[in-house]
Structure 1
Amino acid sequence: MSATREAAVEVLRRVFGYDSFRGEQAEIITTVAAGGDALVLMPTGGGKSLCYQIPALVRPGVGVVISPLIALMQDQVDALRNLGVRAGFLNSTQDLQTRRDVERAFLTGELDLLYLAPERLRLESTVQLLDRAKIALFAIDEAHCVSQWGHDFRPDYLALSELHERWPEVPRIALTATATDATHKEIAERLNLGDAKHFVASFDRPNIQYRIAPKASANKQLLDLIRTEHAKEAGIVYCLSRASVEKTAQFLVDNGVDAVPYHAGLDSRTRAANQSRFLREDGLVVVATIAFGMGIDKPDVRFVAHLDLPKSVEGYYQETGRAGRDGLPSTAWLAYGLADVVQQRKMIDNSDGDDAHRRKQTRHLDAMLALCETVECRRVQLLNYFGQSGEPCGNCDTCLTPPESWDGTVAAQKMLSTVYRLDRERNQRFGAGQVIDILLGKQTDKVAQHRHDQLSVFGKGAELTEQSWRGVVRQLLAQGLLSVEGDYGTFALTERSAEVLFQGRKVNLRREPEKPARLPSARTSSPAKPAVELSAEATPIFEALREWRRNAAREQGVPAYVVFQDATLRQIAAVRPGNLQQLAGISGVGENKLARYGQQVLDTLAELV
């Protein structure tokens, strides 16, 4: 073992309390610690932070971390200080004296890690500050923000290519939890990392159970999920609009779920307070737009739910990846319906930007729809999107209850014929409700008003239910055989529609369940490495340790996981160490935490005997 590798392992054990590296961590850390550049693609929860924190502690100088997460820098720094790491940050939230104190600590060698927002590097004063001290490395976190192919593009990231030009001897490591091949290539190009060593870990998160349910009454479906599988557990619920966020949060509160909203329309103090509560309290649900979540380091989020269709697979993967960072079984649940498809198509058609921008958005949406409509394993579909392969997982809805596919050619022809006749014979266009009423032969006021009961297709679709027809429409939209146009979401044929109507193209569809099956929870079906099993005797010990941790965190003003993660407390409860030496053998108990909390943990255990 090289001296660099030995030094990294020593830091891993002493500071972080772990015996061994995971996956490619060892090679990444050795590469950067030895002075090389690295581009790292690793899923959320894969241990990306260690890949730059340990080299920063091994190399002489200060590790400079570029992070877009101003609101979370304090928590990141608190977590490191709890481990005995000398960390600080500089961002626009600090007053002048605080910034000067951090700058002094940086210049006098009193810091191991310094966090900076990317926009600060555009200030000449910051550049001059960095010139005056020894820099161990530059870590560029959330590196997909540099890519206009990605879903979180940040213009300030484009200037980070200049790091290598000004400090050519300083190694750089760029990290992201999500990137397609196109995004990967753009990160390397824009950050001038063509000669860096690239590490692409598996994007599989086996502890997450992926489920996509037909949308009926989304709020009630969500409440059922929380009550039956995740009561009193932390979760994130994503909605597309601010109004939906507010209504959903209030609905949960009215039904006994502790929940708070988060969106850009709230004042900054409320947003900060709600985010702080989520990070520091157990069992809180935050309902949010996608403005929330990047860099959230809370390890015990047990579920992520989407009440609206995400705009891209990358966004969906990034958001669902906030569940189960501790490796314990968790749920990614999405309610998806026809209105989502119509809404997303309209948003693309009405979006700003040129045709190339709209084509890119359409490709992102098509990939997301393919994931929703697949009859194959969802995990395999996700991995394929990121250029990786996999075997059916046995832990997603399509594996646990395989959907049926059926020959929907005739149904597709009936639907497309109705749209065709409305347009060509009547010069009219309507949305899903009217078209389905015509096929079902419903004598509504609107049907009578427009004399649609005189169309030859009236009543020709009575063999399917309204729900089934909505599934047909949704899947035809997903396959590009039907399009949505105008502000009112009316239907029109596409160039490919003729292939079904006149050229004999077959259409296979996914059968819509009349009532969604109740699936085994992620806890009972996850093939991931299980958590330490707690006996009936150990369970109250674990709860007592959580209560002690809650009080300790409150006294320090830090999130509970900064003290110890659940996985560590579970192991302590199961082993019940009797002295500090035995406690030091628990994974996640490093030197500083042993000194700071060890006796308190032993005292808590002694009280339970």
Structure 2
Amino acid sequence: MTSTTDVRISAAEQVLRRVFGYDAFRGFQQEVVDHVVDGGDALVLMPTGGGKSLCYQIPALVRDGVAVVVSPLIALMQDQVDALTAVGVRAGFLNSTQDLAARRTVEAAFLAGELDLLYLAPEALASRTTLHLLDRGRIGLFAIDEAHCVSQWGHDFRPDYLNLSMLHERWPGVPRIALTATATSATRTEIATRLRLTEARHFVASFDRPNIQYRIVPKREPRKQLLALLRDEHPGDAGIVYCLSRASVEKTAEFLVANGVPALPYHAGLDATTRATHQQRFLREDGLVMVATIAFGMGIDKPDVRFVAHLDLPKSVEGYYQETGRAGRDGLPSTAWLAYGLQDVVQQRKMIETSEGDLAHRRNLAAHLDAMLALCETVRCRRAQLLEYFGQPGGTACGNCDTCLNPPESWDGTVAAQKLLSTVYRLDRERNQRFGAGQCIDILLGRTTDKVTQHRHDALTVFGIGTELGEAEWRGVVRQLLAEGLLAVEGDYGTLVLTDTSAEVLGRRRTVMLRREPERPASTRSSKPRGAATVVAELDPAATAVFERLRAWRATTAKEQGVPAYVIFHDATLRQIATDAPGTLDGLSRVSGVGENKLARYGEQILAVLTDA
């Protein structure tokens, strides 16, 4: 006799195959689905591209009632609903972008039980009207997407998420599943506490994204360095470039366009219509580069983002991981590239010093920055250090990050550190003066600049004692001492000051090991990921031609329907079709990603493309 659980698991597997076109669950997806279908609460941590959405979409189709999905991504709800509608799922959303008629249509469908999923913004649950609507319907489960937004110490905090514990209080019998791609063990505990999910079962996947190559380069002329990356390694590829300020976003986008790279700006200073237009173009067009502040990216479902570049230092490892994770959702090789320099460290330290909040808040910001700096300065495998930050053993060297492909050297920089710290000490104690890194380096190199002679710094005993290193090397010394807390910055002009631990170096009680940047090869794209998960294989010439014909058909179809191309089919599905070349609808139905609805809607068209090929 088959148990109830077995029947439900079977139903979930049938939905996976029939609706979404996949033969099997990945990782612990089936465990999550089984647990939620049976009415259990869950907290799910799964990297971007790992299949989080199926963990609530399939229970939504198996359980009675409507799944209410709480998401902060108002601008993307239409795309999320379009993607579900394309596979035959009845989905709708309620948010501030709708007029009254559209809202009433969705509300009526919800009350009539004609929806499988209903998307809401978290602030909607503060409305009595919304709560009254939900009370009148039949709710099968609550899914809280982007659950890290509840963390007040996190990089994407949303105050409205703090009120979501009321879901448990108002609907105690409805299971809840909270999902995120980014959370340390401390953030995970905070999510569980604030959402009243302390009794929920936790599912934590590997944070490893083996198809992403992590690279951090010394910042020299960052826009020119970025342009070289795009021309040499990612010509015609879609990607995201992150900048710290709105002005930098605008200038970088203009620079790329002037150099033949199609690019769009995105930041909070643009009006809502422009932001929405740029976002829609990025999702729907091939080969566009979005230059943005961190206001852009969360929930972006575009699978073929081939690179994420940072022209400024992220504030935390969580933010860096979340942002770089938007590359390579389809599992194909992708690049996470960061240009990092001394001014980044000075700027971030200064921002913390002047930030609002109490001492505990500033210490937390500093701890986040310290971890990010440690990742930048490491001589170890970057992937291993990244994984260890999230509490996952890093294991052996990955073979697919810059420190593995071109290992840096570490050198005993104690004497150099003492010379630099002595310069800062003498400026402060002997002259009652404080200066930034540039003046200290000029003194060490013995340069008689106007500023040096004006302040008689050429009379200091440290003048000219650092000629064994070049300017770039001295800037690296300053950067690394700042990263290790052996030096600090103060004030609006980034003046250097000693810290409590500086005396340990000056008193020869502490050795300082520093990183020496290796000579970088022009490109590392040809390096194959070692130990990486299998990705879609390269196509032979004949299959490549078919694949391009299928992409052209998909582009035309997507444009006609006004949806992103990936809503029709992902590249991985088209690649498999091109490789297998099925001659019948039955053969096409066996391709991963071709469910019943898409087979009925597009099957004959695909077979026609294959026949014409």
Task: Specify if TM > 0.5.
Answer: yes
Q: How does 1:58-77 map to 2 (within 5 A)?
A: 58-77=62-81
Distance 1:512 1:319 in 2: 25
Give the equivalent residue in structure 1 for 2:543: 538
Residue 181 (structure 2) pairs with residue 157 (structure 1): no
Residue identity opposite 1:533 in structure 2 = E
Q: Which one of the candidate residues 409, 415, 429 is aligned to 1:404?
A: 409
Q: How does 1:196-211 map to 2 (within 5 A)?
A: 196-211=200-215
Q: CA deviation at 1:4?
A: 1.2
Q: Which one of the candidate residues 237, 241, 265 is aligned to 2:241?
A: 237
Distance 1:365 1:603 in 2: 55
Distance 2:100 2:484 in 1: 56
Give the equivalent residue in structure 1 for 2:478: 473
Residue 356 (structure 2) pairs with residue 352 (structure 1): yes
Give the equivalent residue in structure 2 for 1:47: 51
Q: How does 1:251-330 map to 2 (within 5 A)?
A: 251-330=255-334
Deviations 1:101-155 (A, max 9, x none): 0000001111000000000001111111111111110000000111112111111
Residue 419 of structure 1 contacts residue 429 of structure 1 at CA under 8 Å; is this kept in 2? yes
Distance 1:459 1:415 in 2: 11
Deviations 1:425-474 (A, max 9, x none): 00111111110011011111111111111111111000001110000000
Residue 446 (structure 2) pairs with residue 438 (structure 1): no
Distance 1:455 1:504 in 2: 25
Give the equivalent residue in structure 2 for 1:595: 600
Q: How does 1:79-478 map to 2 (within 5 A)?
A: 79-391=83-395, 392-478=397-483
Structure 2 counterpart SS, 1:36: coil
Structure 1, unaligned runs of 5 or more:
none
Q: CA deviation at 1:354?
A: 1.2
Q: Which one of the candidate residues 570, 580, 596 is aligned to 1:575?
A: 580
Q: CA deviation at 1:524?
A: 3.6
Structure 2 counterpart SS, 1:206: coil
Residue 329 of structure 1 contacts residue 528 of structure 1 at CA under 8 Å; is this kept in 2? no
Structure 2 counterpart SS, 1:211: strand
Give the equivalent residue in structure 1 for 2:494: 489
Residue identity opposite 2:268 in structure 1 = A
Alpha-carbon RMSD across the aligned residues, in angstroms, is: 1.0
Distance 1:18 1:528 in 2: 18
Distance 1:402 1:518 in 2: 15
Residue 208 of structure 1 contacts residue 522 of structure 1 at CA under 8 Å; is this kept in 2? no
Distance 1:75 1:223 in 2: 31
Residue identity opposite 1:476 in structure 2 = L
TM-score by length of 1: 0.99
Distance 1:554 1:604 in 2: 17
Q: CA deviation at 1:520?
A: 2.1
Distance 2:448 2:574 in 1: 63
Residue 406 of structure 2 contacts residue 520 of structure 2 at CA under 8 Å; is this kept in 1? no
Q: CA deviation at 1:522?
A: 6.8
Structure 2 counterpart SS, 1:212: strand
Residue identity opposite 2:322 in structure 1 = Q
Residue identity opposite 2:162 in structure 1 = L
Residue identity opposite 1:62 in structure 2 = V
Distance 1:267 1:190 in 2: 33
Q: How does 1:479-558 map to 2 (within 5 A)?
A: 479-513=484-518, 515-521=519-525, 524-525=528-529, 527-558=532-563
Q: CA deviation at 1:306?
A: 0.2
Give the equivalent residue in structure 2 for 1:37: 41
Residue identity opposite 2:45 in structure 1 = L
TM-score by length of 2: 0.98
Distance 2:230 2:21 in 1: 34
Residue identity opposite 1:268 in structure 2 = A
Large movers: runs of 4+ above 4 Å: none
Residues 1:347 and 1:183: Cα distance change in structure 2 (over 3 Å): same
Residue 400 of structure 2 contacts residue 527 of structure 2 at CA under 8 Å; is this kept in 1? no
Structure 2 counterpart SS, 1:302: strand
Q: CA deviation at 1:523?
A: 7.0
Residue 349 of structure 2 contacts residue 489 of structure 2 at CA under 8 Å; is this kept in 1? yes
Structure 2 counterpart SS, 1:94: coil
Residue 234 of structure 1 contacts residue 285 of structure 1 at CA under 8 Å; is this kept in 2? yes
Q: CA deviation at 1:352?
A: 1.1
Residue 232 of structure 2 contacts residue 523 of structure 2 at CA under 8 Å; is this kept in 1? no
Q: How many residues align?
A: 607
Residue identity opposite 2:35 in structure 1 = T
Q: CA deviation at 1:518?
A: 3.0
Structure 2 counterpart SS, 1:525: coil
Distance 2:468 2:437 in 1: 17
Residue 441 of structure 1 contacts residue 458 of structure 1 at CA under 8 Å; is this kept in 2? yes
Distance 1:434 1:149 in 2: 36
Residue 233 of structure 2 contacts residue 523 of structure 2 at CA under 8 Å; is this kept in 1? no
Residue identity opposite 1:190 in structure 2 = R
Structure 2 counterpart SS, 1:282: coil
Residue 400 of structure 2 contacts residue 528 of structure 2 at CA under 8 Å; is this kept in 1? no
Distance 2:236 2:98 in 1: 35
Distance 1:224 1:596 in 2: 42
Residue identity opposite 2:556 in structure 1 = N
Residues 1:136 and 1:523: Cα distance change in structure 2 (over 3 Å): farther
Deviations 1:346-405 (A, max 9, x none): 111111111111111100100000000000011111111111112211100001111100
Residue 182 of structure 2 contacts residue 322 of structure 2 at CA under 8 Å; is this kept in 1? yes
Structure 1 counterpart SS, 2:542: coil
Residue 211 of structure 2 contacts residue 529 of structure 2 at CA under 8 Å; is this kept in 1? no
Q: Which one of the candidate residues 2, 16, 23 is aligned to 2:20?
A: 16
Structure 1 counterpart SS, 2:33: helix
Distance 1:306 1:349 in 2: 23
Q: CA deviation at 1:503?
A: 4.0
Q: CA deviation at 1:519?
A: 4.3
Distance 1:187 1:446 in 2: 53
Structure 1 counterpart SS, 2:96: coil
